[in-house]
Amino acid sequence: MLKVQNIIKNYEGKQVLKGVSFHLKQGESFGLLGPNGAGKSTLIGIMTGLIHATSGTITIGGIDLHKETKHAQQLIGIVPQEIALYLDMSAKENLTFWGKMYGLKGEELKSRVQEILELIGLGNRANDKVKVFSGGMKRRVNIGCAILHRPKLLIMDEPTVGIDPQSRNHILETVKTLNSEGMTIIYTSHYMEEVEYLCEKIAIMDQGSFIKVGDLSELAELVGEKREIIFTIKCEQGQK
């Protein structure tokens, strides 16, 4: 489904990505962990055709992303970190707008919008303006917009940051459902428990490189057994 080969990206003389390579089969779920500045967002930008790599190749469903960008992008759904919605429009209006951008129309568009509203748990709030929604509800609509066209590959960039537990659980269950139906998932997060719950493969990224790629058991071997020792130090009065 996805083949990323030796991706390098230079910014103003600095190498931000240092030969990143991996591949995913259709229906696999891939978790990407790493601190801020590790290169995750740059890699996502390149995989979605929004940023040009300095060198390297990416194919999506056998389509070369660089040579046939628009064709390859039709196979991708992207959920960005920032909310990408029109706040003065309703949830239904936002979904309809983005559905048209993906080429949906007529009864197919109406039917698909209703399906998505039910999937994201907002069928009873369809006509409410997005600006009155909580952060978690906005993120659910964001996800809905990304999957309207039934993409083969869904890329999610930290979709649960700063939201309430109920919305977080709903998002996780939605992603789990989509993956079980055959959608390939790339999920970036700071939360290990989310990646552990959702993903078969996990990559740990830092300073533009993959430190380790594998399943949970392989990563556990890398970390090894850890023990925590807590010291309590009593200082004499007047000492720091």
Question: Per-residue pLDDT for 224 more than 80?
Answer: no
Rounded mean pLDDT of 25-54?
A: 93
* Angle, helices 135-147/91-101, rounded to nearest 10 degrees: 30
Helix pair 106-119, 135-147: axis angle to 10 deg: 140
Q: CA neighbours within 13 Å on the CB side: how many for 231?
A: 3
Question: Nearest Cα to 136, choosing from 169, 109, 87, 114?
Answer: 169
Q: What is the pLDDT of residue 222?
A: 60
The pLDDT value given to residue 231 = 59
Give the CA-trace dihedral at 136, 118, 194, 65, to 10 degrees: -100
Q: Domain 1-71+183-240 adopts which CATH fold?
A: Rossmann fold (3.40.50)
Q: What pLDDT does residue 22 have?
A: 95
- Is pLDDT of 206 > 80? yes
| Residue 228 or 67, more confident | 67
pLDDT score, position 232: 61
**170 and 120 Cβ atoms separated by less than 8 Å:** yes
Torsion angles phi and psi, residue 119, rounded to 5: -60, -40
pLDDT for res 192: 84
Domain parsing of the chain, residue ranges: 1-71+183-240
Evaluate if residue 216 carries a pLDDT over 80: no
Helices then strands, counting H and E runs in the chain, come out as 8, 10
